[in-house]
Amino acid sequence: MSATATTAERADAARARKALIRPIRDGLLVAGRNLIAYRRVPQLLVFSTIQPVIFVLLFRYVFGGAVRVPGVRYVDFLMPGIFVQTTVFGAIGTAVGLATDLKSGLLERFRSLPMARSAVLSGRTVADLARNIFVAALMAAVGFAVGFRVHTNVMAFLFGMVLVLLFGYAMSWIFATVGLAVGDPETAQAAAFPVMAPLVFASSAFVPVDTMPHWLRVFASHQPVSVTASAVRALVLGGPTTSYVLQSIVWSAGILVVFAPIAVRRYRKTV
């Protein structure tokens, strides 16, 4: 019994000492575990990257010819939209991943362990951020291959990508809530689409909003996908950036401030 008692006592001591770093340590452990899944089941990553590549080819070569954007080559208009769309669709993975863990009983085990309460959610969203970085780099490569060019400088382009990733991270918290609420991967997938479709398509991601009816244009010009796409466009094509960049940051921060606590509350109550 002495060995078991010391383990428990040591764990007590550890949690007192590590109260500050434990959330980070445990979050990274969970994130590492989630990233292993992408390595072991590469289909997860392959299918989630094929879809945006098809979008690029489709819009670049099929629809693109019919879209007139004054003063800009369509491929340069398109790619910032594609970056945003890709990371937003990636957030569905957050919902599906959490719902899968919930259904399998894994979250139940996590809740019985002396680990940081926040680690399941932070680990999930950080892993999905890492995946988004990979996917965004891949999409940039595809974009350059089909003729996309940065008209400003590398720093502006990278800053644009940071905005995109920040927005994708914020969206992950919305979909963390969705995944925990539905508790089933298939349902999570299905529930995500009605949220995604208006955000991604009723936006300036693929086409300018000028031709939309007035009521739609009001929504489409102010919603987060559009302002983030516009911010990236301004950064890579040139022109006034401040307003769009600020709007995008405010949207991402706002989504995080609202949805992170909701997701955490949901997690505490679930299982």
Partner 1 sequence: MDQAAIRVEGLVKRFGDVVALDGVDFDVPTGSVFGLLGPNGAGKTTAVRILSTILVPDGGRAEVLGHDVVHDPDGVRCRIGLAGQYAAVDPNLTGRENLRLTGRLAQLSGVEAGTRAAELLRRFDLIDAADRPVRTYSGGMRRRLDVAAALVHRPPVVFLDEPTTGLDLPSRNELWRMIRELVQSGSTVLLTTQYLEEADRLADRVAVVDGGHVIANDTPATLKSRLGSTVIEMGLGDEGRASRAQELLSRSLSVRPERDGSAVRLTSEDGARILIDALRILDAESLTPASLSVRQPSLDDVFLALTGHRAEGTDAAPAPEGAAGRRGTRSRGAS
Of residues 194-233, which lie at the interface with partner 1 (CB under 8 A)? none
Nearest approach in angstroms of CB 269 to partner 1 is 7
| Cβ closest to partner 1, residue 28 vs residue 140 | 28
Q: How many CB atoms lie within 10 A of CB 210?
A: 11
CA distance 237 to 156: 9
Task: Decide if residue 147 touches partner 1 (CB under 8 A).
Answer: no
Residue 142 exposure: Cα atoms within 13 Å on the Cβ side:
24
Task: Decide if residue 265 touches partner 1 (CB under 8 A).
Answer: no
Per DSSP, the residues of 222-258 read HSHHHHHHHHHHHHHH-S--HHHHHHHHHHHHHHHHH
Would you give the end-to-end CA distance of the chain in angstroms? Answer: 32
Nearest approach in angstroms of CB 62 to partner 1 is 37
Of residues 33-62, which lie at the interface with partner 1 (CB under 8 A)? 33, 36-37, 40-41
| Cβ closest to partner 1, residue 15 vs residue 68 | 15
CA distance 52 to 139: 8
| Cβ closest to partner 1, residue 44 vs residue 202 | 44
Task: Decide if residue 269 touches partner 1 (CB under 8 A).
Answer: yes
CB 252, CB 170: distance < 8 Å: yes
Size of the site for partner 1 (CB under 8 A): 36
User: What DSSP character marks residue 60?
Assistant: I
Instruction: Single out the segment in contact with partner 1 by CB under 8 A; choices: 32-40, 72-80, 147-155, 245-253.
Output: 32-40
Residue numbers at the binding site for partner 1 (CB under 8 A): 1, 3-5, 7-8, 11-12, 14-15, 18, 22, 26, 29-30, 33, 36-37, 40-41, 104-106, 108-115, 119, 183, 269-271
